[in-house]
Chain A
Amino acid sequence: MIGAGPAGLSAAVEAAEAGMRVAVFDENAGPGGQLFKQIHKFFGSRDQNAMIRGFQIGRNLLARAEAAGVEVFLNAPVMGIYKNHEVLVKIEDESVHFKGDNIIIAAGAAEVMVPFCGWDLPGVMGAGAAQTLMNRHGVLPGRKVLLVGSGNVGLIVGLQLLQAGCELVAVLDAAPRVGGYGVHAAKIARTGVPFLTSTTILEAKGDGKVEKAVIRKVDSRFQVIPGTERELDVDTILMAVGLSPMTQLASCAGCDVEYSDQTGRLSCITVTDEFCETTVAGIYCCGDFRMETAEGASSAILQGQIAASHIAEQAGYITGEECGARIAKCQETLRQMSGGMFSVKNKGRVDPTETDEGYPISRSLLERGYIAEEELQNYPAASYEAEGVHPVIECVQNIPCNPCRDMCARKCILVNGDITNIPLVDQTKKCVGCGLCVANCPGQSIFLIDKTSIPDYAAVSIPYEFLPLPEEGQKGTGLDRSGAPVCDALVMSVKTSPAMDKTAVLTMKVPLKYADSVRFFKAEGGAE
């Protein structure tokens, strides 16, 4: 196994549990690949690690790998793959030869860089690199950051930049809409960060380092519109414009590598079949190394299981029947996870007008990163009135996720049919205001509203992941979905618990008429 990330580790566990002898090589000092910098809660279903933070998924996989007897070599870059499944691995100051009956390459991807004037100035870097700096090394990538690209990677890093204390000056996308999940965008937008769609970076300016970014509007064919240049004061420009598999090792092994638009845009990938096997028999690849997917780590884990099951069957460790069942299960989950409006077939091609359920699409969410108040009425779970405390779910796109349903002990929340369906509220069930749905929604798109318990006021409960945590009785400002100040707000409670896994549920008192507007709290004194 080359790469101890989610794909490599899950494949290793699967193969080892089937009775195979497995060695995993990783060039990094720690295992887990990109998982250990993923501090957000994952989307998906419960059996696919939904609600669990990435680094915790990494820990769980490692523990399983250890229990299954997988040997993990760290600081061990694979230098080359040769004929007859031979690999040469750098281990300390030695080059060690190994041979495997099968090889799985799960060595990940690198960030795509798009050249623009000044892109080689210090201060321009990949969003993933910035995430590594922050979350692995505790180093801020900069103070005033411009984020280029609004796919999920960009949006996730964007929130983490805010959490780390950076100023996020804007999020750009050359496309006319936000690329990633609306719920990710909304987390950023409600803190006041502007989304600039149909906008591209033109130039990074500065004396030896980034000091300014020049941006410009583009039309629907991505042609620049003259006269729309704007300068932004920034010291860091983060590029989140896609991943490109590190196909070098596959190419070195003689596997066919080609340009393909399987991922929705032209990218260089290793040719594989449905079992992740390359054109060289016995060499497989999975995870980001195989191709970029919307739910990278979750797909990677499933692909690892598919490849390992296939290998285990070919090598006689499991029966064809067992293998078929395992693979079918993984493929069904993959199918579900890759459905919805962010599926490959929709990516960059279709601008849907309605959801699978027939609700109109929120244009505001696509263009500005937040749902406009007047659009809320289109979505039953976001716009109903009820007595007492009740959940309001502002999750209005078809994305593969359903932990809200599982978290509600009272069965208030439904996700019927496919996992990509939009959650609904069963109003016949009574909400008790526990807040577990609020804290555990990976999209942070569930709020508890109570318009009837305090005269003239409403209690609005929001998910809150910033430090320092506000305290009961603290005064501040209620911000709307765009981050604009709306009214004074008073913190009524800040709930935390192990079941909430570090997402606090902050309940604030706001004037009744703002109950449907206020979705974020800004403490007095400026700090969020």
Chain B
Amino acid sequence: MVGLMVDAPAAESDKSAVDAFLQGGESLRHAPGPYFGSYGGRWMPESLIAALDELEDTFEKAKADPEFTAQIAELNKNYSGRPSLLTEAKRFAEHAGGVRIFLKREDLNHTGSHKINNVLGQALIAKRMGKTRVIAETGAGQHGVASATAAALMGLECVVYMGAEDCRRQSLNVARMELLGATVIPVTSGSQTLKDAINEALRDWVANVDNTHYLLGTAAGAHPFPAMVRYFHEVIGEESRAQILAQTGRLPDAVCACIGGGSNAIGMFHGFLDDPSVKIYGFEAGGDGVETGRHAATISLGKPGVLHGARSYLMQDDDGQTIESHSISAGLDYPGVGPEHSYLADIGRVSYEPITDSEAMEAFRLLCRTEGIIPAIESAHALAGAMKVGQRLAAEDKAAGTAAGKAAGKGTDKIVVVNLSGRGDKDVATAAEWFDLLDKDSPEHEIAKEGEKL
């Protein structure tokens, strides 16, 4: 743990907040920002404050405008393909203590992940503000591809910032963005990773804010981004809640999602925050293992700080310099996390736990083999977490010897909903390398060897 500050989230200090909530006190849904407890805010250059004010104002008015909400609903339905399915994973569930597991199929959305929900919303907001250009950051390319897609659909110029190393390793995703009409700019500053792509996008935004909207890809950053990005992803949790009620007649016992910046998770969690019987779990990237220092378990091991506009948990050294994160999953490979997650961690409403690369890849293989679904490696972290949660719930039931469990004939009748945030087509090269499926002299093997996040 060299140079890394370790502090457990201060769950006790905010105990009263979660108690009040559990006793039917204040709702945790629709938190408007700018602050989530002591997190969030606007730690941003003054030059960008006017743009953030304009964005907040436009977003607030849009939310209240039936024409806008109808536009979003129409795009979700007829472009993205929503509602996404809720699929019971019966064979997979046998490996999770015998609980029932349901997968929220964000992998079936257009472009293959939850990202489309946010980019369509923000692109519409950009148009309402009269902006003609959008910029975005991307790690492996998923948000970049989604942004390029939305920009093409709405006739906006699109520039995507991407670490130079990621561009090289993800040349097919670069080509995808270019096919969609976007310009991809390799970022060579700093550590040349996702966080530096965000830095470069912010520098572009400062200089071009008159005609440009920064289409941030996750529920982090300065207000109003965390609340706005969550708003566009709330559809995940709302659909899931209605679908699980329709399919099982009751609420789930637990909900699971993976956490990088945390946008798919906050959208899923939002549907269940006010249901006290539903336990909520966020699974961070444990990389090589949290004890190795090579991970992206921001809430589990970070300390509060400010980065990219928000106060939140942050992987940082004793000097407050950002520490580079590590994960097999590019989408979780970020040293920060959305501020609302930090708050939900502190008050104890959501439990955040790390999942190692190995655990995620085991769950990845298991889902492929048991359900015929290739998940994104990001989502495989949620699947691995759900297996642990399922086993715990089953053990609790066994200890209690519940009648319902016995009636179900397998010792438990617990239900777990997992957000399958994206499909794994993009991860085939990484997985093939991990499971040693490539010929030693194939070009794919050569490419895969070069990076952990192909």
A, B assembled together: no
